[in-house]
């Protein structure tokens, strides 16, 4: 009991040395209501809005690509091309090269997302051929690969695939 009283007396002496501060005072600091106290959050909001606006507004390049290819989901493909801009020149150059071998076939662009690994995405350019001409189409695709695509795909083949699709 004496030891406890001694501790209490020492604590009281120690507390007398501390400044007298009232932590529950009614004084409030006024802050402007229109600004956030966290500038990082405000900056992040502005940059997200800017990205959304840029993604929604189609660029001239995307319009040009959509004139020569049928795009399944313009927004998704546009966002992918924005991230992988090196594909744009290859896609624009691929069109006349493909037309040498497939003059009338529909050309479709679609973003493929691996269901087992959603972060793995690849743009697929499908040449839509008729099932009646499977052998002929495969031979033409081989020629196209040998004459142009193998060289042109260096550095972009991980993000772009050109294949046949039989409708």
pLDDT at 139 over 90: yes
Query: Which residue did the predictor score with more confidence, 139 or 37?
Result: 139
pLDDT at 22 over 80: no
Of 135, 137, 136, give the one whose Cα is nearest residue 164.
137
User: What pLDDT is stored for residue 19 in this prediction?
Assistant: 54
At 24-55, the pLDDT tens digits run 445 554 444 455 555 556 555 555 544 554 44
Looking at 1.20.1530, 3.20.20, 3.40.50, 3.30.300, the CATH number of the domain 60-166 comes to 3.30.300
Using an 8 Å Cβ cutoff, are 72 and 108 in contact? Answer: yes
Q: Across the beta sheet with 106-113, what order do the strands follow?
A: 70-71, 106-113, 121-129, 160-166
Task: Provide the residue ranges of all domains of the chain, joining segments of one domain with +.
Answer: 60-166
Helix axes 74-83, 60-68, angle to 10 degrees: 120
Phi then psi for residue 18, to 5 deg, are -80, 145
User: What pLDDT is stored for residue 132 in this prediction?
Assistant: 86
Residue 158 CA to residue 110 CA, distance in Å, equals: 15
pLDDT at 125 over 70: yes
User: What pLDDT is stored for residue 60 in this prediction?
Assistant: 84
């Amino acid at each position: 009991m004496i030891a406890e009283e001694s501790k209490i007396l020492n604590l009281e002496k120690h507390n007398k040395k501390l400044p007298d501060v009232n932590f529950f005072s009614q004084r409030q600091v006024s802050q402007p209501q229109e600004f956030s106290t966290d500038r990082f959050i405000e900056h992040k909001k502005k940059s997200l809005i800017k990205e959304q606006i840029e993604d929604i507004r189609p660029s001239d390049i995307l319009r040009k690509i959509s004139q020569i290819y049928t795009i399944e989901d313009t927004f998704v493909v546009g966002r992918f091309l924005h991230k992988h801009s090196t594909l744009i020149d290859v896609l624009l150059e691929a069109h006349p090269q493909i037309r040498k071998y497939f003059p009338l076939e529909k050309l479709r662009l679609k973003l493929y997302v691996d269901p087992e690994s959603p972060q793995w995405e690849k743009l697929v350019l499908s040449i839509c051929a008729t099932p009646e001409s499977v052998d002929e189409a495969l031979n033409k695709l081989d020629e196209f690969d040998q004459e142009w695509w193998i060289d042109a795909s260096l550095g972009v083949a991980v993000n772009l695939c050109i294949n046949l699709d039989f409708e």
